[in-house]
Amino acid sequence: MKRVSITAKMRADIFMRHDGVCHLCNMKVVPGQDWDVSHEQPLEAGGRDDASNWLVAHRKCHRAHTGAVDMPLIAKVKRIHQRHIGAKKSKSPMPFGRGSKLKRKMDGSVVRRDS
Ligand SMILES: [Zn+2]
């Protein structure tokens, strides 16, 4: 996914729109503190790369949040996607489930799925 490159003017607009308040700790960003434009919903988890998804965050808060919340979420989104497109199959399918070679019919008899 191509990221939008955020110019200094856009950064200033985002900063003013949110009054320079970090959305993670709700503290003001004071001059001299490093801050990032944070995506409320990560791009890898379907978030939009536009002003509706941009927030202000201290660099420190942003890094911590990315590691603790965003990365596990992104990993989960990827796992679900892999399963959805059939790139990944369960190693332990439910007994007689759709992933199993056997199926149990309504009358209780067990038959092979490939027959
Ligand atoms: Zn913060």
Per-residue pLDDT of 27-76, as tens digits, reads 999 999 999 999 999 999 999 999 999 999 999 999 999 999 999 999 99
Distance 28 CA to ligand 1 centre (A): 8
User: Which residue in this structure is represented by tokens 């942003």?
Assistant: 62
Query: In angstroms, what is the span from residue 78 Cα to ligand 1's centroid?
Result: 28
% of the chain at pLDDT higher than 90: 83
pTM of structure: 0.74
Please give the domain boundaries of the chain with CATH numbers for all domains: 8-84 (1.10.30.50)
Pairwise CA distance, residues 38 & 55, whole Å: 5
Q: Residues 6 or more apart from 96 whose CB is under 8 A from it?
A: 102, 103, 104, 110
- Which class for 68: exposed (0-12), middle (13-18), buried (19 or more C-beta within 10 A)? exposed
